[in-house]
Structure formats: C-alpha cells, structure tokens
Structure 1
Amino acid sequence: MAEDFQSIQFESKRGIAVATISHPPINLITLSLFRELAALAQAVEEDSEIRVLILKSALPDFFLAHFDVEAILQFDTKGPAERSKFNAFHALCERFRTMDVVTIAQVEGRVGGGGSELISAFDMRFGVMGQTIINQMEVPIGILPGGGGTQRLPRLMGTGRALEVILGGIDLDAATAERWGYLNRALSRDEIGPYVATLAGRIASFPSEAVQLAKRAVHRAEDPLAEGLIEEDFLFQRLLRTEDAQQSMRRFLDQGGQTPEGERRIAELSLEVATTKS
C-alpha cells in the first residue's frame, strides 16, 4: 500500500510509522491527497506492528492546508441539504481518532481549514514557536468548517476561543495554541523532532493492549460526538447551496487563495474576500 503513495513519504520502524506529506506548494488537500490520506489510515490499521503514527510535512512553511476550494465548488448542491451520516471527511477523521494506533501531528508550518480539522482528530499535536500557525478560513469565504472543526475545536479549547478562531478567521500562533489547549506543547524548531520521537518511542514500548484500551477510554469522554458531526455536515451543506458562499469561494480563488503568497496571509486575504463584493 505504502509504495502507491505519490504525495506521502511513508516509513515504519520499531512500531513507529512516520508519514511525511509532500504535496507542493502548500500541501493543499486535493481529492488525490485526500485519497492518499485515506489509504494511509488503511495501511496503518492493517499493519499490526504499528503502535504510533507521526504525521509530518516535507514543506518548511506549510504543514497541511485546507480542502481544495475548487473541488468544493464542484460539490453537488442540487436539492435541499439533508441530515444523513458522516461525510467522507468526517469518516476519515474518525478513522484516525478511533484507530488503535496512537496518532501524533508534528506541526511545523501553517495548518488550516481541513488540515486543522484532520489533526484535531489526532491524539496529540505538537508545534513550533514562531513557525506553527493555525487558521480556520471557512466563514470568511461563506461556508463553515465542515470537517469536524465546529465540534472538535470547542472540545479542545472551549466554546469562546473556538468561536474566536472560527468566526474571526484569525491566525493562531503556537504559544497561544498551546495555552488554549490546541497544541500539547509549543517547542523550538530543534526540540520538536527529538521530543516527538522520544515520546513515540516510549508509547511504542509499552504493552500494546494497555495503550489501546487507555486511548479508547479517554476518547469515551468525548461522546456524543457523532450527533454533532451530522449536524455540522447538514449546516455545511445548507451554506454550500447559497449564492453568497459560491461567490465568496470563487473570490477567494481569484484573489490569491491556494497560492503560497495568499496562504501566508490567509487571515488578511479572507477578510478582503469577505469585504469585496463582485
């Protein structure tokens, strides 16, 4: 399975799998990368030797960007929005959250939108002072976080702070993200690699069943998450059907979204999108 990856470098040794995303220029979650992330989850689940998964980025400035807005604009919006079951992105996030393998995100660079939602489902997140930046840019472009952000962020940082991030479209720096509970720790660039590797090694050395059941027990504290995810998807689908959302997403792309320059200033860009009417 791992040899089929085009945008993910995968290696596994002594119970620790390291998946490094390399999808320049910004690690945008295109449909192809989404499929590879799903294949990654499957590969990890099927390998009984893997105890810990570390997700990293090969790009110095970007960890994992949002879902491809161009692809979102192609979503089927015929007919009314309906409450149903998990969408495909929810299912992927839940797969990482509930797998017996411990999942760790080593966040060096920007993470935003769906990228942030994906790692919010991971067991732990570690960032770099002065380098890690978190952003949810959906509301400024007319939609809402539809990959679990409205449900997971309040659980990580509290309702008020989650609303500040989601409604404000602000950049959240590593020090604040650590203080608010999004990041486990904000470390220096030299510290993060050795720290995460040491922690992963400790966990991988412990009795596997004890680790698996302890993780399962801790995540039971988040119940009932499923109902909230279904409601989030319904509201996302409603917004996606509005003319304002379609126009805002198109302006986002036209004004530099999904380019390295635009993504580096995404908080400012999203405000420009929201205040510029075509």
Structure 2
Amino acid sequence: MTNHLADEDFELLQIERTNGVAFVTIEAPPINVMTPSLFRELAKFGAQVAEDDSVRVVVLRSNDPDFFIAHFDVSAILSFPTDGPAQRPSEIGGFHLMCETYRKMPKATIVEIGGRVGGGGSELSMSCDMRFGAIGKTVVNQMEVPLGILPGGTGTQRLPRLVGRGRAMEIILGGVDIDAKTAEEWGYLNRALPPEELRPFVTDLAFRIAAFPPQAVALAKEAVNNADTLPLRDGLLEEQYLFQKLLRTDEAEPAMRNFLEIGGQTREGEIRMGQLAREIGGS
C-alpha cells in the first residue's frame, strides 16, 4: 500500500472531487460484497485522502438501489488460516486500521446508506462520523453470529457506543434486520430520510461542512472523538487546548469578524443562526 493510486486507477470506487468534497461511489457488483479487493481499495483511498489537504469531507455512497455494502466476503473468511490455537494479537489488524483511518482522519466522513448494509460494511459505516439512510430502503444487519463467528472488524466495540449495550446485543446476537426508522431512533443513523431526499441532503451537508474553516472541522472532530477514549477531565483539558490552538489560526479571526458583520449577535441574525452559519462559510 505504498504506491499512490490516481482516482481513475481504482476499479471498484468511482471518485469525484468537487469543492473540497470527495464523493466515493462503491461499484462492486452484483451486491457490493466487501471482497478483499474492495477492502484494499477502501483502505488505500482512506490512507491517501487522509493526507490530502484539498479534501475536507469524504462521502461514501453506492448507486445500487438495494445495497450499500452487503458484508465481508464469506468465501474469503473461509480461507482464513486456522492452524493452531487462536493467538491474542498485540496490534490491531488491517480491517480495524482501515476503519480507524476513516474515524480519525482530520476531515468529516459521511456515509449515505441507500440500501442494505451489513457485516464489514456496517463496521466501516459505524467508524465514520455520520450515517444517513432512506426510509423503506435502508436495512442494517450484523449476520456474523448465525454464521458461527462474531463482528470482528470493530463491530462489537462500535455498535454499543452508538445504540447501547442491550440494542447492540439484539442486533449482534439476534442477527435481525433493523429498518431505517428504528436505526434512526436507536442512534445508528443520524437521520432516516425519504429516499428521494437522501442524496440531496447528504450532498448539501457535505458542501456545507467543506465551506467551513478546515482546521476547525478537523480539531472539532478530534475533540469529539476524544470523548470515546479519554476520561472526562482529560477530554475537557484537551478541548481547552484545541480551542486555544484554533484561536491562533489564520482562519478564526476573519470568520468571527464576518459573523459579526453579517448579523451575528443581533436578534435578526441569531433567529436564523443555521442560515447565518452557511453564509459565513459562503456555501
């Protein structure tokens, strides 16, 4: 994974870069199974885009109306080595590293789930910052336990953090389908939208975030991620530090002055704060 790949060299990913957003469309027919080849391409792209300052937001999506990513390739799992006893690793493995790359990269990662997502596809989705689904189309499933295994690509750790322990147990141990509205209510999806609204909503949100100061996006994401790993006091101290860092960037003062000039801290401006924020970014 040392050689750089141009966007057009990816075979299973269609990549379009527009105004700071990388739209990554997964094209792995017939049902977007996470084959080793798709895994390698997603890992490769993630490693490359994490270092690309021209990209501020990454959107993962699929044009298959029924599938985002089905699950990891079971045929490939059957070929995993099983000689000798299981060994407890000292380092996280390649799939975990790929998921962590999307979780930790200094840019927003958004998943547009227009169909079914399961297994390793769900684990990648849970590692990203935001997930949006389509009512009547999006279905979440972790099907590993019925197959005699478990979600081994971050799922047992990420899912309880999103939906809570009991609901994670229902999904993982039950192997049940979770529809879009339930996934939204449980916290797996940010929003469940009518199918025709899903792509326009995600696209608009991506461009909105990409218009904001990139260092603010990156460090705000880092601060939120710290809530998963740091004790509260340490997280608060790190939040103060990151706030001070952002005050010293070239972007902060002009953005704050612009806020005041276009109506911030006035009754008229504050009532429409969401739109005012968009105007600050110029999106």
TM range (shorter): 0.7 to 0.9
AA partner of residue 204 (structure 1) = A
CA distance in 2, matches of 1:71, 1:198: 37
Alignment RMSD: 0.9
Give 1:15 deviation, angstroms: 0.3
CA distance in 2, matches of 1:146, 1:170: 17
Name the structure 2 match of 1:90. Answer: 96
AA partner of residue 52 (structure 2) = D
Give 1:194 deviation, angstroms: 1.4
Give 1:81 deviation, angstroms: 1.3
Name the structure 1 match of 2:30. Answer: 25
What are the within-5 Å matches in structure 2 for residues 28-177 of structure 1?
28-84=33-89, 85-177=91-183
SS state of the match for residue 29, structure 2? coil
Alignment TM-score, normalising by the size of structure 1: 0.79
CA distance in 2, matches of 1:130, 1:29: 23
AA partner of residue 113 (structure 1) = G
SS state of the match for residue 50, structure 2? helix
Alignment TM-score, normalising by the size of structure 2: 0.78
SS state of the match for residue 216, structure 2? helix
Give 1:46 deviation, angstroms: 3.0
Runs of 4+ in 1 over 6 A off after TM superposition: none
CA distance in 2, matches of 1:10, 1:198: 18
Could you tell me which of 223, 229, 252 is aligned with 1:217?
Answer: 223
> For the Cα contact (< 8 Å) 2:58–2:108, is it kept in 1?
yes
Give 1:23 deviation, angstroms: 0.4
Which ranges of structure 1 fall in alignment gaps of 5 or more residues?
A: 225-278
Give 1:183 deviation, angstroms: 0.0
CA distance in 2, matches of 1:136, 1:155: 15
Give 1:45 deviation, angstroms: 1.7
CA distance in 1, matches of 2:23, 2:130: 14
The answer to which structure, 1 or 2, has the higher relative contact order (CA under 8 A, 6+ apart) is 1
> For the Cα contact (< 8 Å) 2:107–2:214, is it kept in 1?
no
SS state of the match for residue 131, structure 1? coil
Residue 201 of structure 2 is aligned to residue 190 of structure 1: no
AA partner of residue 108 (structure 2) = V
CA distance in 2, matches of 1:79, 1:219: 37
CA distance in 1, matches of 2:95, 2:47: 14
Task: From the CA coordinates, give the structure whose radius of gyration is larger.
Answer: 2
AA partner of residue 33 (structure 1) = L
SS state of the match for residue 205, structure 2? helix
CA distance in 1, matches of 2:98, 2:128: 11
CA distance in 1, matches of 2:50, 2:128: 14
Give 1:4 deviation, angstroms: 1.3
CA distance in 2, matches of 1:42, 1:154: 26
CA distance in 1, matches of 2:200, 2:63: 17
CA distance in 2, matches of 1:50, 1:209: 12
Name the structure 1 match of 2:260. Answer: none
CA distance in 1, matches of 2:50, 2:158: 23
Amino-acid identity (%): 59
Give 1:68 deviation, angstroms: 0.7
Q: Deviations over 1:97-146 (max 9, x none)?
A: 00002100000000000000011000000000000000000000100000
AA partner of residue 7 (structure 1) = L
Which ranges of structure 2 fall in alignment gaps of 5 or more residues?
A: 231-283
Give 1:155 deviation, angstroms: 0.2
CA distance in 2, matches of 1:194, 1:66: 26
